[in-house]
Amino acid sequence: MKPLIVLAGGFGTRLRELVTDVPKPLAPVAGKPFIVHLIEHWIAHDVKEFIFLLHFEAHLIEATLLELLSDKRFGHIKIDVIVETKPLGTGGAILNAVSELGITDSFLVVNADTWLGHGYRELSAADPCALAAVSVPNSQRYGSLMLNEYGISEFKEKSKSNGQAFISSGLYHLLPGIFEGFDPGSSFSLEEEIFPNLVSKNMLGVVKLDTSFIDIGIPEDYLKFCKWIDSEKNNDL
């Protein structure tokens, strides 16, 4: 299984009306932080090496990770933490980690506010570069994916997307070389500046998943996830 880079540096402004005292990855769910639910889930899917990229309220997330590592149940995993002194965007944050840790092999990337039922093993086994796609009933909030024989042919903007469609789940399998031409420490977007270049060269593959998916970034979906956990995952997410 490839190492998992976790993007956890965002400000979580849309969730602030419900979660006021901690950053979004620490939003409480059934008595423990959302990120702990995620880590337990990722470990169950064979992830053993984590790299957390932090910025906003980084010290609170670091404290949670340290507490988790003190639990003997998690003694077999490795966690690295990189704290950004300024927001670097999704692309800049990953390049900063690649540079700082000397990463030369491919790796997985995931968002710290998204739950994906499965797909980690499948994407880790797929050729990079690739993303995991899920089908949702209404793609307007996310934007949708146009697919061809190579993988992704186009990212359709949110304003032009609606109805049932495949969307990016936010889980990627990437290579360090895709950041060539960008300087470590610079701020840029993976989705807006790296992926379009890969798509133009037919270099971004796709793994379609039939699994649960939710992004807790808005109050409605955060509360939906909390209810799902409270129900012991007995209903559809």
Supply the CATH number for residue 74's domain.
3.90.550.10
Q: Does the pLDDT of residue 235 top 80, yes or no?
A: no
- 3-class secondary structure, 186: coil
| Each residue's pLDDT tens digit, 58-85 | 999 999 999 998 988 888 899 999 999 9
Is residue 235 assigned to a domain?
no
- On whether residue 136 sits in a domain, the answer given is yes
pLDDT confidence band for 170 (50 / 70 / 90): very high
Number of domains in the chain: 1
Domain-located, residue 79? yes
Phi/psi of residue 180, nearest 5 degrees:
-60, 130
CA distances from 126 to 89, 132, 224 (A): 26, 10, 31
Flag whether 154 is in a domain. yes
Burial string for 167-191 (b: 16+ CB within 10 Å, else e) reads bbbbbbbbbbebbeebeeeebbebe
In a domain, 131, yes or no: yes
Task: Kindly write down the DSSP assignment for every residue of 102-151, as one continuous string.
Answer: T--S-EEEEETTEEESS-HHHHHHSPSSEEEEEEES--TTT-EEEEETTE
Point out which residues pair with 215 in neighbouring strands. Answer: 114
Asked if residue 153 belongs to a domain, the reply is: yes
pLDDT at 205 over 80: yes
User: pLDDT at position 79, please?
Assistant: 96
Is residue 114 domain-resident?
A: yes
Residues spanned by the domain of 112: 4-230
Within a domain: 236: no
pLDDT at residue 202 is higher than 80: yes
pTM: 0.95
The Cα–Cα gap between 128 and 108 comes to 9
Q: What is the pLDDT of residues 120-156, one digit of tens each?
A: 999 999 999 999 999 999 888 888 999 988 899 999 8
**With bands split at pLDDT 50, 70 and 90, how would you rate the model's confidence at 237?**
confident
